Amino acid sequence: MARAQKGRRQAAETRGRRAETLAALWLRLKGYRILARRVRLPVGEIDLIARKGDVLAFVEVKARADFTSAANAVTASSWKRINRAADSWTARRPDLRTLSWRFDLVAIQPRRRPIHLADQWRPDFAPSGR
């Protein structure tokens, strides 16, 4: 990998980590408990997993210059990968399997409050217990 390309990738990684930290803080202020961050599984990854009451939120975090770019950065195929990762993650946590699931987006923009959009995507089908 070229040195310049590696530097850009590291800068993007740093921005992503900062955005996820901001999103986690924002969700905690809204009463969520962060259960996991940066969950990487063979089937996909999840930026944040948060719980509030009996709802388990699988959160995608996007840092962009404007809200529209952040919202458009998450495609249907992205949500499907997140759903597969959520299935895999909760399979190892049977105590959480009975909670309601939700797929949320947190948009991080420069010099603005994070925007938390709950329930941004729903799978075509939901296994029992969701």
Q: Is residue 128 part of a domain?
A: no
Domain count for the chain: 1
Q: Is residue 126 part of a domain?
A: no
Tens-digit pLDDT profile for residues 37-89: 999 999 999 999 999 999 999 999 999 988 888 888 888 889 899 999 999 99
Q: Is residue 39 part of a domain?
A: yes
Q: Is residue 66 part of a domain?
A: yes
Q: State the CATH number of the domain containing residue 46.
A: 3.40.1350.10
**pLDDT top residue among 4 and 71:** 71
Predicted local confidence at residue 13, as pLDDT: 81
Q: Report which DSSP code applies to 21.
A: H
Report pTM. Answer: 0.85
Per the structure, the complete domain to which residue 7 belongs is given by 3-121
Indicate whether 92 pLDDT > 80. Answer: yes
Q: Is residue 130 part of a domain?
A: no
C-beta of residue 105 within 8 angstroms of C-beta of residue 59: yes
C-beta of residue 55 within 8 angstroms of C-beta of residue 102: yes
Q: Is residue 89 part of a domain?
A: yes
Predicted local confidence at residue 1, as pLDDT: 61
Kindly state the tokens that stand for 67: 């809200």
Indicate whether 128 pLDDT > 60. Answer: no
Measure the CA–CA gap between 114 and 105, rounded to whole angstroms.
10
